[in-house]
């Protein structure tokens, strides 16, 4: 029995939340649905951890869906990189769901909570599926499962602020355009190769050589995924979606959805197109690199002038995605390591910050920064969590943010790109400004008279502080995360076909 | 003269792909340019449908029949895989359209309009009211 479960772990990782979702819809009350969804997320996390441990030594688990051998059948392929991302996604779900109970009670009417948790499980299914699959078209299907449920989750913020509806609608339009571009790109690749299996695609494309169809396919995929991961000029859906979504959804989606999209980009760029595909290198250096730098500055600048805490953090997310893309655009092992480790570090940091924002909303009923005046005295634990995660966002030493920036700067220096290294440090200064604005309101301003604000409940504080603890723990001893990221970068580079000249 | 004929053959021979390009650009243009939320969804539908055409076209083999096994050993079949992929994509498209239209209904119920420019005005007013409220309690 145990051996059978172990052999089928890659399938269970996705199938478990998928089957749990309709069951969850039948549970009747929000409380029961919450307990069930939380339990499922814990099991999914355990599966991800065991896959992570199994692949740690560099073994690649290949699982044939339904017993059909790849490249004809759909293959689930787990290596160090996607096991790492699986841990991020399922781990965030396992932390956000316990956190969600109180804030969902507060933000979503009781009769709709069952459907809320169902959509949450579907979103988890989609994100895990995108990460684990080794089939290019399967990525699209899971991407749409996660996106469609995310649109519904964001729209459920409408009970608090009706602008969630238009935010969700705009995200739906842009997300669908992105997904369709992605399918067109896959179509181009299929035209050349006649296969959809990623490893097989990589081999056949390397044998096929460069062509106009391949370049067109590459650009379509880059733009399509760029829309999903909010690459700088394609980020317009993100601020409103994050601002008006229910707090638990923002914390989960901000920490995972864009990360999974980055993973897809990495997978396509390296496993499928190949590490040294010249057209890709030129695109990264001439298009993605400047855009990433612009994102770091423009989005941080805009974040400084926001009056809403969640919107400020959303803009900061766009800037952080800039860092991730920057590491990718270096096209070196160190750069990739920095990108991958920042996937984890940013998920932990931004997850904690959005959870803090949720605690503030729970206590004050508002997410505007002015409503936080003097809150440091009323909610010391929540505010302290904000300050420490804020340090991590800036990149101060002893936090995970520092580790990411350290490797990014190191990658820039390795290439001799001093200006880029200076720009990375310069953009951190902007983060100090917008974090300071909140800290100033929270600690240095007097509380408005007659304000009754109680510390957030324990069920919300504990998950928040677990994330804060992680961001300090892995900031002090980064061997584990950096080691995993470095192994993942190695496996990415070795998975690409070095036949390009 | 012969070059012109060749070009014509190229153009006519890729009829499906020209239609794909035209439909795709039409759909994208409608989605981006229309202010009416329902029309945007229609544009999105046209855009997605064009991709179905691209996939089906590349699965077609000249002289090939429908991919159903027949007794003739020399039979040439069209590639069935793109059809299957597109079946999945159609399902995704329907789900997207349904969700999009459901959102439009809710937007109509809460805002009373589905014109994008009117929605923008309403949202600006809401934002302004929030800012005044926040400033007022200072």
Picking from A188, A173, A258, the residue whose alpha carbon sits closest to that of residue A221 is: A188
Residue A192 placed within a domain: no
| Residues of chain B with C-beta less than 8 angstroms from the C-beta of A370 | 134-135, 137-138
Residues A82, A71: Cα–Cα separation, whole Å: 19
| Residues of chain B with C-beta less than 8 angstroms from the C-beta of A163 | 123, 126
CB of B119 closer than 8 Å to CB of B52: no
The residue ranking higher by pLDDT, A121 or A282, is: A121
Residues B56, A474: Cα–Cα separation, whole Å: 50
Residue A319 placed within a domain: yes
pLDDT reading at A1 higher than 80: no
Q: Compare all CA atoms of chain B with the CA of A150 and give the residue at the minimum distance.
A: B99
DSSP label at residue A454: P
pLDDT (average), residues A116-128: 96
Q: Calculate ∠ Cα A452-A454-A456, nearest 5°.
A: 145
- Contacting residues for B15 by C-beta, under 8 A, at least 6 apart: none
pLDDT reading at A383 higher than 80: yes
CB atoms within 10 A of CB B59: 19
pLDDT reading at B3 higher than 70: no
- Contacting residues for A393 by C-beta, under 8 A, at least 6 apart: A316, A320, A349, A350, A353, A401, A431, A435
| Residues of chain A with C-beta less than 8 angstroms from the C-beta of B48 | 176, 180
What crossing angle do the helices spanning B15-33 and A163-193 adopt, rounded to 10°?
Answer: 160
Residue A11 placed within a domain: no
Residues A229, A323: Cα–Cα separation, whole Å: 13
pLDDT (average), residues A136-161: 94
| Residues of chain A with C-beta less than 8 angstroms from the C-beta of B138 | 370
CB of A342 closer than 8 Å to CB of A320: yes
- Among B55, B110, B138, beta carbon nearest to A162: B110
Percent of all residues in chain A with a pLDDT value above 90, rounded to a whole number: 71
pLDDT at B76: 87
User: Which ranges in chain B belong to alpha helices (H)?
Assistant: 2-13, 15-33, 37-59, 81-111, 116-136
Q: Structure tokens of B62?
A: 């000249």
Residue B115 DSSP SS3: strand
Residues A113, A455: Cα–Cα separation, whole Å: 24
Residues A60, A132: Cα–Cα separation, whole Å: 12
pLDDT (average), residues A310-326: 94
**Inter-chain CB proximity B137 and A448 less than 8 Å:** yes
B87 in contact with A, Cβ within 8 Å: no
Backbone angles phi, psi at A455, to 5 degrees: -55, 145
pLDDT (average), residues A490-498: 77
Three-class SS of A154-199: HHHHHHCCCHHHHHHHHHHHHHHHHHHHHHHHHHHHHHHHCCCEHH
Residue A122 placed within a domain: no
pLDDT reading at A132 higher than 50: yes
ipTM score above 0.85: yes
Residue A384 placed within a domain: yes
Please count the residues of chain A.
501
| Residues of chain A with C-beta less than 8 angstroms from the C-beta of B137 | 370, 448
* pLDDT confidence band for B1 (50 / 70 / 90): very low
pTM recorded for the entire structure: 0.93
**Inter-chain CB proximity A172 and B82 less than 8 Å:** no
Count how many domains chain A has: 1
**Inter-chain CB proximity B134 and A187 less than 8 Å:** no
pLDDT reading at B136 higher than 50: no
CB atoms within 10 A of CB B130: 15
- Contacting residues for B64 by C-beta, under 8 A, at least 6 apart: B76, B77, B78, B79
Round the average pLDDT of chain B to a whole number and report it. 87
* pLDDT confidence band for A498 (50 / 70 / 90): low
The residue ranking higher by pLDDT, A283 or A181, is: A181
Boundaries of domain holding A447: 276-501
Residue keyed to tokens 């814990």: A42
Question: Which region among A152-161, A273-282, A298-307 has the lowest average model confidence (pLDDT)?
Answer: A273-282
A163 in contact with B, Cβ within 8 Å: yes
Picking from B12, B92, B125, B72, the residue whose alpha carbon sits closest to that of residue A176 is: B92
B23 in contact with A, Cβ within 8 Å: no
Query: Within 13 Å, how many C-alpha atoms sit on residue A106's CB side?
Result: 20
Residue A313 placed within a domain: yes
Domains and CATH numbers, chain B: 2-136 (1.10.287.3510)
pLDDT at A497: 61
Tens-digit pLDDT profile for residues A232-253: 889 999 999 999 999 999 999 9
pLDDT reading at B137 higher than 50: no
* A&B contacts, CB < 8 Å: 83
Please count the residues of chain B.
138
pLDDT at A275: 73
**What are the beta bridge partners of residue A197?**
A135
Question: Which region among A426-440, A473-487, B24-38, B56-70 has the lowest average model confidence (pLDDT)?
Answer: B56-70
pLDDT reading at A206 higher than 60: yes
Residues A41, A20: Cα–Cα separation, whole Å: 10
pLDDT (average), residues A338-367: 93
pLDDT reading at A501 higher than 70: no
DSSP label at residue A67: G
Residue A307 DSSP SS3: coil
Tens-digit pLDDT profile for residues A189-205: 999 998 999 988 988 88
Round the average pLDDT of chain A to a whole number and report it. 91
Residue A30 placed within a domain: no
pLDDT (average), residues B48-55: 93
pLDDT at B5: 60
**Inter-chain CB proximity B99 and A162 less than 8 Å:** no
Q: Structure tokens of A259?
A: 């990360």
pLDDT (average), residues B57-65: 84
Q: Structure tokens of A80?
A: 């160090």
Residue A143 placed within a domain: no
């Amino acid at each position: 029995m145990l051996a059978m479960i172990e052999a089928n772990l890659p399938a269970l990782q996705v199938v478990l939340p998928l089957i749990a979702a309709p069951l969850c819809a039948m549970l009747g009350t929000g409380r029961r649905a919450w307990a069930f969804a939380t339990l499922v997320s814990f099991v999914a996390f355990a599966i991800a951890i065991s896959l992570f441990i199994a692949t740690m030594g560099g073994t690649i688990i290949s699982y044939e869906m339904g017993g059909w051998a790849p490249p004809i059948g759909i293959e689930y392929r787990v290596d160090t990189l996607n096991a790492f991302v699986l841990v991020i996604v399922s781990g965030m779900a396992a932390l956000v769901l316990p956190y969600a109970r109180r804030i969902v009670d507060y933000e979503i009417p009781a009769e709709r909570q069952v459907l809320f948790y169902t959509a949450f499980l579907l979103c988890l299914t989609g994100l895990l599926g995108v990460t684990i699959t080794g089939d290019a078209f399967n990525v699209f299907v899971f991407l749409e499962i996660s996106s469609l449920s995310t649109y519904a989750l964001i729209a459920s913020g409408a009970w608090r602020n009706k602008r969630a509806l238009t935010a969700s609608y705009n995200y739906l339009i842009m997300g669908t355009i992105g997904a369709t571009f992605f399918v067109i790109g896959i179509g181009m690749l299929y035209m050349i190769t006649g296969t959809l299996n990623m490893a097989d695609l990589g081999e056949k494309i390397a044998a096929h050589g460069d062509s106009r169809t391949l370049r067109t396919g590459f650009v379509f995929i880059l733009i399509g995924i760029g829309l999903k991961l909010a690459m700088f000029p394609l980020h317009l859906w993100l601020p409103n979606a994050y601002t008006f979504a229910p707090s638990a959804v923002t914390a989960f989606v901000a920490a995972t959805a864009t990360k999974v999209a980055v993973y897809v980009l990495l997978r396509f760029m390296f496993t499928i197109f190949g590490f040294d595909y010249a057209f890709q290198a030129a695109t990264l250096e001439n298009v993605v690199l400047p855009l990433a730098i612009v994102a770091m500055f423009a989005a941080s600048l805009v974040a400084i002038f926001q009056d809403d805490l969640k919107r400020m953090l959303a803009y900061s997310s766009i800037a952080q995605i800039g860092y991730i893309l920057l590491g990718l655009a270096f096209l070196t092992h160190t750069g990739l390591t920095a990108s991958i480790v920042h996937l984890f570090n940013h998920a932990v940091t931004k997850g904690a910050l959005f959870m803090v924002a949720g605690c503030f909303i729970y206590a004050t009923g508002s997410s505007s920064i002015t409503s936080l005046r003097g809150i440091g005295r009323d909610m010391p634990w929540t505010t302290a969590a904000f300050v420490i995660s804020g340090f991590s966002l800036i990149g101060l030493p002893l936090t995970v943010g520092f580790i990411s920036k350290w490797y990014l700067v190191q990658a820039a220096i390795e290439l001799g790109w001093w200006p880029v290294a200076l720009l990375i440090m310069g953009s951190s200064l902007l983060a100090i400004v917008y974090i300071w604005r909140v800290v100033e309101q929270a600690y240095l301003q007097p509380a408005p008279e007659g304000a009754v604000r109680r510390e957030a409940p324990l069920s919300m504080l504990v998950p928040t502080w677990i994330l804060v603890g992680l961001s300090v723990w892995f900031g002090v001893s980064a061997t584990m995360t950096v080691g995993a990221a470095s192994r993942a970068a190695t496996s990415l580079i070795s998975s690409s076909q070095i036949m390009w000249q | 003269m012969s070059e012109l004929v060749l070009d014509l053959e190229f153009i006519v021979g890729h009829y499906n792909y020209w239609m794909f390009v035209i439909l795709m650009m039409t759909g994208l243009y409608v989605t981006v340019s229309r202010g009416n939320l329902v029309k945007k969804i229609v544009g999105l539908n046209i855009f997605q449908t064009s991709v179905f055409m691209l996939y089906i076209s590349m699965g077609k083999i000249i002289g090939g029949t429908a991919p159903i096994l027949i007794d003739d050993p020399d039979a040439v079949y069209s590639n069935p895989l793109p059809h299957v992929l597109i079946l999945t994509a159609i399902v995704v498209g329907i789900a997207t359209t349904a969700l999009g239209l459901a959102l439009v209904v809710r937007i109509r119920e809460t805002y009373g309009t589905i014109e994008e420019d009117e929605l923008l005005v309403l949202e600006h007013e809401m934002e302004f009211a929030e800012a005044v409220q926040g400033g007022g309690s200072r």
